[in-house]
């Protein structure tokens, strides 16, 4: 039964990475900006939770959401003037912001890390026969599914969602029709910030020690997933994020402990293979018309 157990954990972690991938993909769709500083939003959420350990979970989660959306909007103001700049410029800018934030965290909170205990209770497991499922796995999966569904509904059923999809497909024409560029960009960052907050809350349950580089590896792995899935489509990007989280968790659990250092090489090797064989992404459709958000 351990394989089934590991599969459940892998699905839960995959769901988290799927959320991160959507957060990155939303902003990319509209701004053509791969935001390497996205992880620092997750870290900010983590520190917020850590400093509110004693308070009620509701207050802590609300504060986490506020902190993440706040930082996302600060990033939006920094990156907004770069719309239309060369990919290299944007990439370097997001790296710079990422390093800056990590070092601010280092100065402010030190390198030893702050533990989060707000929702620690979710680490308890329920037993189904020999199977032990932690609550966090169920909660993570449910929350991720709800947020992905919510994001899809927002994009497909609301006016601002339609404006975002139009801006992602053809920004200039969208503006000619009266779509407000800044509002669309800000909306994508707010939505991405909200998803980052959810990731903070869920991730700190499984991995409670928040360090200055807390969000870096999550972002990096999710980005790998986004690349595997195809950066141009939100659905396949989230699927890619899910796949990488799933693989990471499952392979990590199956690998003998003394071989665990090979895990990243295995994953990155897969990515290289995917890029060689299917440069547009594993789940990208053929040459059909592409809708980016």
Q: 173 or 260, CB closer to another protein?
A: 173
Position 289 contacts another protein (CB under 8 A): yes
Taking CB under 8 A as the criterion, the residue among 78, 169, 251, 271 binding another protein is: 169
Taking CB under 8 A as the criterion, the residue among 181, 186, 190, 263 binding another protein is: 181
Give the contact letters, 241-270, x = binds to another protein (CB under 8 A), - = no: ------------------------------
Q: 16 or 166, CB closer to another protein?
A: 166
Piece in contact with another protein (CB under 8 A), picked from 72-80, 169-177, 201-209, 247-255: 169-177
CA–centroid distance for 110 within its chain: 24
Position 175 contacts another protein (CB under 8 A): yes
Piece in contact with another protein (CB under 8 A), picked from 12-20, 112-120, 155-163, 192-200: 155-163
Position 32 contacts another protein (CB under 8 A): no
What does the block give as tokens for 37? 């500083």
Position 154 contacts another protein (CB under 8 A): no
Interaction with another protein in 71-90: which residues (CB under 8 A)?
Answer: none
Size of the site for another protein (CB under 8 A): 20
Taking CB under 8 A as the criterion, the residue among 89, 173, 207, 217 binding another protein is: 173
Q: Footprint of another protein on this chain (CB under 8 A)? A: 159, 162-163, 165-166, 169-170, 172-181, 289-291
């Amino acid at each position: 039964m351990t394989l089934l157990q590991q599969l459940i954990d892998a699905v839960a972690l995959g769901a988290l990475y799927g959320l991160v991938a959507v957060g990155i993909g939303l902003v990319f769709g509209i701004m053509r900006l791969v935001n390497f500083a996205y992880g620092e939003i997750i870290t900010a959420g983590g520190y917020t939770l850590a400093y509110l350990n004693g308070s009620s979970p509701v207050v802590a989660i609300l504060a986490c959401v506020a902190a993440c959306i706040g930082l996302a909007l600060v990033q939006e103001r920094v990156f907004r003037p770069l719309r239309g700049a060369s990919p290299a410029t944007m990439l370097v800018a997001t790296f710079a912001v990422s390093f800056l934030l990590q070092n601010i965290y280092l100065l402010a909170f030190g390198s030893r890390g702050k533990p989060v205990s707000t929702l620690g209770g979710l680490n308890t497991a329920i037993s189904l026969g020999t199977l032990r499922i932690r609550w966090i796995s169920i909660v993570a999966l449910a929350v991720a599914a709800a947020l992905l569904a919510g994001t899809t509904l927002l994009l497909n059923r609301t006016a601002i969602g339609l404006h975002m999809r139009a801006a992602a497909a053809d920004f200039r024409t969208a503006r000619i029709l009266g779509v407000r560029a800044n509002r669309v960009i800000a909306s994508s960052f707010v939505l991405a910030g909200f998803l980052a907050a959810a990731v903070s809350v869920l991730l700190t349950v499984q991995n409670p020690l928040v360090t200055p580089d807390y969000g870096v590896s999550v972002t990096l792995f999710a980005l790998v997933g986004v690349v595997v899935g195809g950066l141009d489509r939100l659905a396949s990007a989230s699927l890619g994020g899910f796949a990488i989280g799933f693989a990471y968790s499952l392979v990590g659990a199956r690998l003998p402990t003394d071989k665990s250092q090979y895990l990243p090489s295995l994953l990155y090797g897969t990515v290289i293979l995917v890029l060689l064989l299917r440069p547009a992404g594993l789940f990208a459709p053929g040459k059909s018309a592409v809708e980016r958000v």
